[in-house]
Amino acid sequence: MIITIDGPAGAGKSTVARLLAQTLSKQSGKTFEYLDTGSMYRAIALMGLRRKVDWDVAEELERIAENVSIAVRNGKTFLDGEDVTELVRSPEVTDKTRFAADNPAIRRIMVSLQRSIAEQLREDGKGLVTEGRDQGTAVFPDAPVKFFLTATPEERAKRRLNELQQHGKQGKLNEILQQITNRDVRDASRAVGPMKEPADAIRLVSDGMTLEDVVCQLTQKIIESILCII
């Protein structure tokens, strides 16, 4: 069974997907893995930085995407076998990831990889909670349960500032808000695989909710949806 979670940056999709997979594994007795698809685009960008590609020549990054191996297991991202889970979250990588995410040829490779990961899990008798921008629309349009998890830009900016402060870093709320708004526009206006709320998605606006509240609501919605299907 595939459950998709799409939504904008900073909505907490990654943490929610991980906790939801854990909860479903406990409650259903069947193992659910989770997939952070943003980390795959980030891994391509990391390799682009390492190989010092010319970012204006799209083919250079495409060659990388065709030749590297990306694996996502137990919430960790591996690039040619190296664990790059932390490295792909750096601001330098975040800044360059758009070159991977905006590139249609790279998206085709990533979509095919995401589908084969899901197929492998299905063959192994496991479920998948996958999160990104295009999971319920372009990658798994037939997923039986789809979510669109969002929060207002102001709420997402406040959460990001809190996160930075917890790591002993500084930030300015208005600058973070501007970055988040820019990313929303960019993610929604991408020619291929744009962020778009699937027509059949359940929408959740998480302003004022704790992570536990969100996971609890999603679990409840999954149970209701499955009862409807049966």
The site string for ligand DC over 72-111 (x = CB under 6 A, - otherwise) reads -------------------------xx--x----------
First to last CA, the chain: 14
The site string for ligand DC over 11-50 (x = CB under 6 A, - otherwise) reads --------------------------xxx-xx--------
Q: Whose CA is closest to 118, among 136, 102, 97?
A: 136
Distance CA 90, CA 69 (A): 20
Judged by beta carbon, residue 41 or residue 148, the one nearer ligand DC is 41
Q: Which residues pair with 34 in a beta bridge?
A: 129
Distance CA 74, CA 87 (A): 17
Distance CA 59, CA 80 (A): 20
Beta strands in the chain (DSSP E): 2-6, 32-36, 70-73, 76-79, 82-83, 127-132, 145-150, 202-205
Among 12, 48, 127, 132, binds ligand DC (CB under 6 A): 132
Q: How far is the CB of 109 from ligand DC (least distance, A)?
A: 13
Judged by beta carbon, residue 28 or residue 197, the one nearer ligand DC is 197
Q: Does 133 bind ligand DC (CB under 6 A)?
A: yes
Judged by beta carbon, residue 42 or residue 146, the one nearer ligand DC is 42
Among 134, 149, 180, 222, binds ligand DC (CB under 6 A): 134
Question: Which residues form the interface with ligand DC (CB under 6 A)?
Answer: 9, 37-39, 41-42, 97-98, 101, 132-134, 183, 187, 193
